[in-house]
Amino acid sequence: MTREDVGGEIWQPNLEDMTVSLQALGRLPRGMVKETRKALDHARRFVDEVVRPRALELDRLLQEDPLHLPWDLVEEANRWGLYTMFLPRLFGGKGYNLPALSYVLEELASACTGIANLVGVHYLGVATLTASWNVRLMNRIMRETVEGERNGRPCLISLAITEPEAGTDVEEVELLKRARVTCRAERVRGGYVVNGRKIFISNGHLSTWHMLVAYEDLEHPEKGTVMLAVRTGTKGFSFGRVEHKMGQKACPASELVFEDCFIPDENVCFDPSYLRKMERASSYLGGLRRDLEGYTAQVIHYVVSTSRAGVGGFATGVARGAFQEALRFALQTELGGRRLIEHEWARCVLAEMYKNVALARLSYVETNYANSLYGMFRILLWKPTYYLMKLMPQVFFDRVLQPVLRWEGTTHLFRWLMMEGQKDEEIQRTSGWASLSKFAASDFGLRNCQLALELMGRSGVRHEMAVEKHLRDSKLLQIYEGTNQLNRLNLFHCLVARDFPELRTFDE
């Protein structure tokens, strides 16, 4: 085929997508820099004092007893304030800026991705709760986490979406239409009754709250997606098995079982009825931007655009952990009468590994800029709200604002701003960058583990050298938060195919 046969103009990337970090210059608050350094410093101390001394021993223990639950570490992370660090001050948290979370996860994962996940998954739950923009529930649940820090009883949040017959399919609305889901939420007077199972739920057994995604109509799940906040101990809800998995062993992957489990209206984060309310409210303003399917997709994109930046942080951490071990080995090992580090080929391998870490990090940084300008973080990182949150005394949020946060009108206002206020191209930019970071960083993570093992030879396969653990941990990063194949398709869908309306992303 010749160039003429192919025809048409050469495709060009969108200038807005190319210049996200440039646009962020000057638009984001300067206070974020100092705050991020402080968060990183705190994370480093936690790694030195808690994570590194325990990571390998815990991995060995869990190999022998996969049912062991690392409560002691969760309590330690709670004491260190890690579960409230990134909750807004509005809801009683410490209010660190959310882009700093990826850096913190990188620090933790450089020593142990499993322990990093004990912290990171909690914020996946927080992101899911936030994506519903149900301010009343956000206030209630996040304040319980804050209280849990005060009284030493950790209150974690998990996300439960994966089902025995549906993993990839429930992460994409286009695939959801044909997904074989079985977790049903039936509308009854005063709430929903749930029946079904969820599997591979990280931190399941350790969490107090579970953001449960279920469906009103199992034949058409995309038309009736429901998100419910389920508290551990609710009648009809129990825990099933804990998976015996290859890596990230510190973080349990749990089965959740629902049998005629009644969830009252006050715990409904989001269901199709909210759209009807928004439709009524918007009828004077020219109607809504999207239909029900469009809003369901938007909620999913809101969650994955932030959570995949978190996986970018984990993956950069694992890439860095492998690099640090390889560097240490090269400095300490002699080969042919010289230290390994003095061999040119070894320096090339180490430079390649350093590059992988740096590019993985850049991918999540750019994604977080996109989230800060166009996605979930934009409301908190807009300079007036950022400085208001920083400067107001805490008592103002804890006492004066409480009636406002509990008022239903506040939820409507937030939904209006955050759902209606986000354009399609902004969803595509944040979600496309998040997918890029997720698969690029996790591929770099696994690659660095392989390079470290090649450099270290037989020494690298020893458990005490930590690299074989990094390798087992890193593989899982290519699977969860949407497999890397799905994320490649999502990038194509968001950042390329939008210019070719005739293309479908997924095969029929």
Ligand X SMILES: Cc1cc2nc3c(=O)[nH]c(=O)nc-3n(C[C@H](O)[C@H](O)[C@H](O)COP(=O)(O)OP(=O)(O)OC[C@H]3O[C@@H](n4cnc5c(N)ncnc54)[C@H](O)[C@@H]3O)c2cc1C
Helices 344-374 and 99-109 meet at what angle, rounded to 10?
150
Q: Return the range that interacts with ligand X (CB under 6 A); candidates 90-98, 134-142, 430-438, 473-481.
A: 473-481
Cβ of 18: how many Cβ atoms within 10 Å?
Answer: 10
162 near ligand X (CB under 6 A): yes
Of the pair 422, 490, the CB lying nearest ligand X is at 490
Of the pair 200, 386, the CB lying nearest ligand X is at 200
435 near ligand X (CB under 6 A): no
256 near ligand X (CB under 6 A): no
Q: How far is the CB of 121 from ligand X (least distance, A)?
A: 6
Of the pair 239, 506, the CB lying nearest ligand X is at 506
Q: How far is the CB of 63 from ligand X (least distance, A)?
A: 15
Among 179, 201, 261, 278, binds ligand X (CB under 6 A): 201
Among 137, 160, 226, 467, binds ligand X (CB under 6 A): 160
485 near ligand X (CB under 6 A): yes
d(CA 369, CA 430): 9
* Residue 481 CA to its chain's centroid (Å): 7
Interface size with ligand X, residues (CB under 6 A):
25
Q: Return the range that interacts with ligand X (CB under 6 A); candidates 91-99, 296-304, 456-464, 478-486.
A: 478-486
Cβ of 345: how many Cβ atoms within 10 Å?
Answer: 9
Q: How far is the CB of 348 from ligand X (least distance, A)?
A: 32
Of the pair 175, 389, the CB lying nearest ligand X is at 175
d(CA 290, CA 278): 11
Q: Return the range that interacts with ligand X (CB under 6 A); candidates 31-39, 160-168, 340-348, 451-459.
A: 160-168
Q: Return the range that interacts with ligand X (CB under 6 A); candidates 164-172, 322-330, 388-396, 427-435.
A: 164-172
Among 97, 482, 491, 495, binds ligand X (CB under 6 A): 482
Which residue sits closest to ligand X, CB atoms considered? 167
- Map residue 415 onto helix, strand or coil: helix
User: What backbone phi and psi angles, to 5 degrees, belong to 490?
Assistant: -65, -40
- Contacts to ligand X from residues 282-321, by CB under 6 A: none
Q: Are strands 268-270 and 225-231 parallel, antiparallel or unpaired?
A: antiparallel
CA nearest neighbour of 270 among 241, 242, 299 = 299
492 near ligand X (CB under 6 A): no
Contact 100, 153 (CB under 8 A): no
As to burial, measured by CB atoms within 10 angstroms (0-12 exposed, 13-18 middle, 19+ buried), residue 104 is buried
As to burial, measured by CB atoms within 10 angstroms (0-12 exposed, 13-18 middle, 19+ buried), residue 43 is buried
Pure H helices in 375-466:
378-381, 383-391, 394-395, 402-406, 408-415, 424-456
Cβ of 170: how many Cβ atoms within 10 Å?
Answer: 24
Give the binding site for ligand X (CB under 6 A): 121, 158-162, 167-168, 171, 175, 200-202, 245, 248, 253, 476, 479-480, 482-483, 485-486, 489, 506
